[in-house]
Amino acid sequence: MIKRIKLPGWIVIISLFLLLIVGVVSMMQGSSEAKEKTEDYSVYPGLNIKTKTKETDLYTFSVSQPYTEHKQINKVIDEWVDQQKTDFTSEINIMEDFLKKNEFRAHLNIQVETEKIADQIYTLEFEAYQITGGANGMTKVKPFILDLNQNKMLQLGDVLQVKEASIKEIQKLIMKELNSNKEINDYIFEELAKEAIKNPDNWKWSISRDKMGVYFDEYEIAAGAAGRIKVEIPMKKIKPYLNKDFVEKIDITFPEEKNNKEEEKHSEDMVELDPNGKYVALTFDDGPHPKVTPQILATLKKHDAKATFFMLGSQVDYYPTLANEVAEAGHEIGDHTMNHQDLTILGIDQIQAEVQQSNSVIKKAAGRTPNLLRPPYGALNDNVKQIAANMELPIIMWSVDSLDWKSRNATAVNEEVMANVAPGSIVLLHDIHPSTAEALPELLTTLEKQGYQMVTVSQLLELWEDKGVGPHYGNIK
Ligand code: ZN
């Protein structure tokens, strides 16, 4: 069953002066301490991740980008990401009329897979997908190998013995893997493939503890039907050609297994709410964030307020303990997909993958399966609703947009929310902007003064389902 009922508008305007308690406290602590605290949360020591999203009438984009303490390393990644944005923007300029005429929003998605291969050495496998109209989008792949001990990106020569004989053997291995892959071998243009791997300087490669990867963009060596290609050569085959120093590092470092909590914990206590009470559900999207989320948790705790966090799988992958802290504090966790893609431009299988991946990443980290779905940008179509229904995930939108993503200003956030809030409101906030964390103490105080109690989305909908609140889609169980 699908419901969509809008709240009546409600106007209460209160101007506020903010006490920047959080800011003052963190200033007193000093920035170095704050830095250490941030690193504690990442399962990839020395690495953190930021997911940036943007939405206009013409396009949406979402970029997940790891960063380090090393400027040089960040710069190399920045340059590649900026190049993708530039390409995308110039494509948008060309396609502007088409986009407007067809009411199609272009989308750029940059996502990353992170793997620790030795102490302070990481492989980042970036994938940039852009669609600016027409039927097919385009995917580009870019691997980086970071050595934080040496403060540099590893080059092929740091990993491989770049001797003619070794290179020849590896070229043979690559061709063999390409030809033995039944899914793609019909589409491969052998001459193009040989040409592409002729010069090792041009390889797009990565290394992990168990394999070497070699990448080809869509159309580079095969017909479009093959998509982008990743050849994987098992470690035991590639090991003889690796630098001994490098092999030793991999062998010595044994990344501790992540402390996954497999068992399902009890969901937060469902307190019986008063049908005549004033309740509001604050929701925080796009986290967890190593600095902002802990601040928000602390403020919520101080006010004994409960909230709902719509988490991104890509962020939870980096900060699983933080996801767990949110759950432990009794807040609700919803699913905001793996990579913050505009789901309406994806095929049904891709939509399912986006939701299922984040669902399992969150479950592993927080010990709890998210029971709500909020699609990125609130972008919905029938396929998204179908997948959500199949997975028994109610789709949760919002009735009050704090516009924190736009204003990045604590005072403005307070004003925007208080001008529009009403009993039963679902308020959209983001636990990735420091200004949102700054806004929260005042926001909670003001809401409390007006008699509001902060509850989770499920609690709110349980109470309000008969009366109708929303908009939301699907039933809360
Ligand atoms: Zn979002």
Over residues 369-426, the pLDDT tens digits come to 999 999 999 999 999 999 999 998 999 999 999 999 999 999 999 999 999 999 889 9
CA of residue 62 to ligand 1 center, whole Å: 9
- 258 in Cβ contact with 323 (< 8 Å): no
CATH of the domain at 53: 3.30.565.40
Determine, yes or no, domain membership for 21: no
Domain match, 187 and 81 both: yes
Under 8 Å between Cβ of 109 and 129: yes
Q: Which domain holds residue 316?
A: 271-463
Contacts of 67 (CB under 8 A, 6+ apart): 47, 48, 49, 50, 74, 77
Q: Are residues 100 and 213 in the same domain?
A: yes
Q: Per the residue annotation, which of 430, 431, 433, 472 is the catalytic one? A: 430
Q: Where is average pLDDT lowest: 378-382, 456-460, 471-475?
A: 471-475
**Is 7 a member of any domain?**
no
- Record the tokens describing residue 39, joined without a space: 């690193």
Same domain for 301 and 377, yes or no, is yes
In tens, the pLDDT along 184-217 reads 888 999 899 999 999 999 999 999 888 899 999 8
Q: Is the entire prediction scored with pTM above 0.85? A: no
Q: Which of 107, 147, 217, 285 is catalytic?
A: 285
266 burial via Cβ count (<10 Å: 0-12, 13-18, 19+): exposed
The Å distance, Cα 109 to ligand 1 centre, comes to 13
> Which tens digits make up the pLDDT trace of 260-274?
444 444 444 455 677
Query: Which one is predicted more confidently, 138 or 307?
Result: 307
* 288 cis-preceded (ω within 30 degrees of 0): yes
**Does pLDDT of 25 surpass 90?**
no
With 0-12 / 13-18 / 19 or more C-beta atoms within 10 angstroms meaning exposed / middle / buried, residue 112 is: buried
Q: Is 285 a catalytic residue?
A: yes
pLDDT at 465 (0 to 100): 62
pLDDT, mean over the chain: 85
Number of domains the chain contains = 2
139 pLDDT band, cuts 50/70/90, is: confident
Separation between Cα atoms, residue 210 and residue 354, nearest integer Å: 26
Whether 190 and 338 share a structural domain: no
* Whether residue 205 is found in the same domain as residue 75: yes
If asked whether residues 337 and 457 sit together in one domain, one would say yes
Q: In the predicted model, is pLDDT for residue 89 greater than 90?
A: yes
User: In this structure, are residues 365 and 372 in contact, taking their beta carbons and an 8 Å threshold?
Assistant: no
Query: Is 468 a domain residue?
Result: no
Q: 196 and 321 share a domain? A: no
Determine which of 6-15, 253-262, 271-280, 362-371 has the lowest per-residue pLDDT on average: 6-15
Percent with pLDDT over 90 in the chain = 63
Looking at the fold, whether 430 and 290 belong to one and the same domain comes out as yes
Render pLDDT for 297-342 as a digit per residue (tens, 0 to 9): 999 999 999 999 999 999 999 999 999 999 999 999 999 999 999 9
CB 226 within 8 A of CB 187: yes
Q: How far is the CA of 8 from the centre of ligand 1 (A)?
A: 25
317 φ/ψ angles, rounded to the nearest 5 degrees: -55, -40
Residue of 304 and 34 predicted with greater confidence? 304
Q: At residue 470, does pLDDT exceed 60?
A: no
CB under 5 Å of ion ligand 1: residues:
285-286, 376
Residue 404 annotated as catalytic:
no
Query: Rounded to the nearest whole angstrom, what is the distance from the C-alpha of residue 286 to the centroid of ligand 1?
Result: 5
Domain check: are 153 and 219 in the same one?
A: yes
